[in-house]
Amino acid sequence: MGVDSDSSDADEDMVIPSSGKVVATGVGGPLKPTEISITRLKDCEIEPGASKGPAAVQSLNFHPNSELLLAAGLDKKLRLFSVDGDENPKVSSYFFKNFPIKQALFTPTGDQILVTANRPKIYGLDVRTGEPFHVRPFNGQAQSKYFGLAVGPNPADSPGLRSSQMYAVLGDPTVALLCDLATKNVVRTLRMRARGVAAAFCPENDTLFTADEECNIYEWHLGSGRCKQRITASSKVTCLTVRRTSSHSPTSILAVGTASGFVDLFDLSGPKISEKPVNSIQNLTTAVTGLQFHTGGELLVAASKFNQNQNALKLVHTNTGTVFRNWPTFKTPLQKVSAIDLSRRGGLLSIGNEKGKVLLYRLHHYETGSG
């Protein structure tokens, strides 16, 4: 294997064949906030042999219990890859007619995939059979489009939570719809003060966080549908994600990406959300469009697709609020990052860009186990 055909590639990011695998160090211990050990693997090829794909990668998501990765985009295709770290072959692809995909996510158990496209409908895919299905229009909930899809936590990580059987989707004008995964019916209609922009489930309890375009962040109790708290962010919110606690990350944290490029971290360990962020990462200069915690909680990936200088992606050591300085470098061939995801196990980081490529990296600290 060699580097891919992009002229921006450099020796620093050469693809490592499996026989040249770097030995992991520090697995199982705390992640150190100094340098990150990372290796580029072979790309997941959207179009084998091509220098770019047919469309920007809009969505990436690892299967919760396997080395399966989905990639989807505005070319209306959803592709599944078997990520073995060596060849990463494409195993199947699905075309959704008149449905330019904006977001696609595995359900918490990984048996289905939900797909949205800024259209007034939602599609699904049965992973085992490969059969697509249409999520029927919600009774009394006619919308011009559905967006901001979020799924509940994996039941293996959060046993006993009702939210592991739910998903949420934003509509208009100001609603977030909480839905049952088995029936796909709406079980709660949550109303915000303005049009919604993001939603994220808490992996620790039956709570959903949403944000609207007027900087309001809401904490919803899923059993009652009641808004437990509303706080105001300092800047327009673009995305949300929540850290679960672990042996090395004892505090639950809400990470808020903003239009100014800041990532604000709010402490969730008390009875109420901290009114002000306990930390603010200011290393991105354009709107945050991707935000993802590693399941171990010590690592946060933040990205912006709007930075013209490209490589607008940062790895954050969340316990100290510091950014790893050694990667990416100006030679790292990320291009304009349009989608990100981290695997639950094995330390895999997938990065999609606007050239339609899916890059794959291994974080060696998490090479075995879940961190």
pLDDT band at 323 (very low <50, low <70, confident <90, very high): very high
Residue 303 dihedral angles phi and psi, to the nearest 5°:
-145, 155
Average pLDDT over residues 206-226: 97
Whether 253 contacts 243, CB under 8 Å: yes
Give me the pLDDT at residue 27, please: 53
Q: β-strands 132-135, 147-151: how paired? A: unpaired
Cα dist. 194→115, 140, 257, 260 in Å? 24, 20, 18, 19
Strand, helix or coil at 338?
Answer: strand
155: CB partners within 8 A, 6+ apart: 108, 109, 161, 164
Q: Rounded to the nearest 5 degrees, what angle is found at the Cα of 99, between the Cα atoms of 98 and 102?
A: 155
- DSSP assignment of 76-111 equals SEEEEEE--SSS--EEEEEE-TT---SEEEE-TTSS
DSSP assignment letter at 44: B
Give me the pLDDT at residue 124, please: 97
Report the alpha-carbon distance of residue 223 to residue 242 in Å, rounded: 19
Q: Could you identify the residue written with the tokens 């990065």?
A: 351
The two tokens of residue 82 are 């078997």
Give me the pLDDT at residue 3, please: 27
- DSSP assignment of 114-161 equals EEE-SSS-EEEEETTT--EEEEPPPTT---S--EEEEEPPPTTTSTT-
305: CB partners within 8 A, 6+ apart: 289, 290, 312, 336, 337, 338, 354
Report the alpha-carbon distance of residue 356 to residue 7 in Å, rounded: 16
Min mean pLDDT across 2-16, 87-101, 306-320, 357-371 is at: 2-16
Give me the pLDDT at residue 139, please: 57
Whether 239 contacts 257, CB under 8 Å: yes
144-186 pLDDT, tens digit per residue, is 899 999 999 999 888 999 999 999 999 988 999 999 999 999 9
Mean of the per-residue pLDDT values for the chain? 89
pLDDT band at 29 (very low <50, low <70, confident <90, very high): confident
Cα dist. 191→92, 205, 222 in Å? 38, 21, 13
Domain 11-366 annotated CATH 2.130.10.10: yes
Give me the pLDDT at residue 67, please: 86
The amino acid occupying position 367 is E
Whether 158 contacts 179, CB under 8 Å: no
What are the sequence ranges of the domains in the chain? 11-366
176-202 pLDDT, tens digit per residue, is 999 999 999 999 999 999 999 999 999
For residue 70, pLDDT over 90 is answered with yes
For residue 247, pLDDT over 80 is answered with yes
Whether 156 contacts 164, CB under 8 Å: no
pLDDT band at 110 (very low <50, low <70, confident <90, very high): very high
- Candidates 366, 364, 370; CA nearest to 16 is 364
Give me the pLDDT at residue 214, please: 97
Average pLDDT over residues 270-286: 93
Task: Tell me the percentage of the chain whose pLDDT exceeds 70.
Answer: 89
Sheet hosting strand 358-363, strand order edge to edge:
38-40, 358-363, 348-353, 337-342
For residue 46, pLDDT over 60 is answered with yes
The two tokens of residue 59 are 């969505």
Give me the pLDDT at residue 337, please: 96
Distance between first and last Cα of the chain:
29
For residue 312, pLDDT over 60 is answered with yes
